[in-house]
Amino acid sequence: MAERRRRWYSILYVQVLVAIAIGVGIGYFHPQAGAALKPLGDAFIQLIKMMIGPVIFCTVVHGIASMRDMAKVGRVGVKALVYFEVVSTLALAIGLIVGEVAKPGAGFNIDPATLDPKAVSGYVTRAKEEGIVHHLLAIIPNTFVDAFARGDLLQILLISVLTGFAVARMGTAGEKVAAAIETMGQVFFRMIGIIVRAAPIGALGAMAFTVGAYGIGSLINLGELILTFYVTSILFVLVALGTIARLAGFSILRFIAYIRDELLIVLGTSSSETVLPHMMLKMERAGASRSVVGLVIPMGYSFNLDGTNIYMTLASLFLAQATNTQLGLGQELTLLAIAMLTSKGASGVTGAGFVTLAATLSIVPDIPIQSLALLVGIDKFMSECRALTNLVGNGVATLVISRWERELDLPRLQEVMERPIEIDRVTA
């Protein structure tokens, strides 16, 4: 009862909403002051990223070490990758179809020669350095500690899986190690609970910087693309992910209500990594098994980026239309195939979607690479939608794969979905 009676201003998502509104106001009326608040957002993101590696390591190692059937780890991994590939390809195809139907870039008549290539040179250079082979080799860290120092999710996941298998083969001694790792995991989650209370401050700083540095006016000229992208992402979540969720036995709208705190934090910070540890905890509370959560959520942050995929194909067609570059069906299918490869390995960090788009266009010679300059000013505003869609997609994937493994507590899931807000308050 105490939880239900608490003041409205003490609820996290209310605090974040108010902070976002204040941040927009500061950035709009006092742009210089808003831009100066960037360190607040950066500090919060850095605090959360500091905890991601240890949390993933403890969760995955304990989950694998607790499994009696070691083949299950491979089975869950394969199921996750198949699911990711199917849904990600669907997202890419939807972005392509919407781009053809809505034609958000038609009528711009931009001459690529008039665009400043220096505006995107940094992204293009980074994209060339981070090719497909680079992504594959980068999964292997230089040292055990280096993975945690760099905060690379795939490297940490690799080390965690290897450690989990090693601990599982140690017998009685391994059980003691697993128990100790689980205790450490609880410590890290407690620390995250403390850090998350600072989310409103981080959201205020990040939003004030975005509006102050880029200006709301930058939305006007390219508003049609932004609107098209947001509408497409919302429809993808409600229709595509909604259908998948319904088949798995829950409502997508109730699921969104359940993770509202995380969505608002992502909206404020433009990075889905800021809620990764908390999402893992919430998926367990919703009835998913810890072992599935520990594998699917970290993998999803590199292989299941639905929002980024929609953005890549939609933005590519926008740039082609804006520069009057004619693409045939064969060229569009080639773009789709290349995007299926380049989209893998992008992370939830702000700006990764733009770098991935640069990587795609550097392989597709038909669309002028310098046309990316058109999107530099608005990419920050689109990154929020990418991150939000990615977050919902990974949450749905976790519950679906957990059900495939018959490790989803359906009564618990139904209880959470019937009263998502009340349940979350009580268990927080």
The string of pLDDT tens digits covering residues 346-403 is 554 445 666 677 777 777 777 887 777 777 667 777 888 888 999 999 999 999 999 9
pLDDT at 59 over 50: yes
Q: How far is CA 166 from CA 62, 148, 188, 345, 358, in A?
A: 11, 19, 22, 26, 40
Q: What is the pLDDT of residue 62?
A: 82
How many of the other CB atoms lie within 10 Å of CB of 109? 10
Structure confidence at residue 229 as a pLDDT band (50, 70, 90): very high
What is the tens place of the pLDDT at every residue in 408-427? 999 999 888 887 766 555 55
H helix intervals, 103-143: 118-129, 132-137
Element (H, E) at 114: none
Task: Report, in angstroms and rounded to the nearest whole number, the Rg of the chain calculated over CA atoms.
Answer: 22
User: How many Å separate Cα 298 from the centre of its chain?
Assistant: 10
Residue 281 identity (one-letter amino acid): L
**Domain 71-163+220-427: what homologous superfamily?**
Sodium:dicarboxylate symporter (1.10.3860.10)
Q: pTM of this prediction?
A: 0.76
Q: What is the pLDDT of residue 344?
A: 64
pLDDT at 187 over 80: yes
Strand ranges inside 155-287, DSSP E: none
Q: ∠ CA(394), CA(348), CA(214), 5° rounding?
A: 130
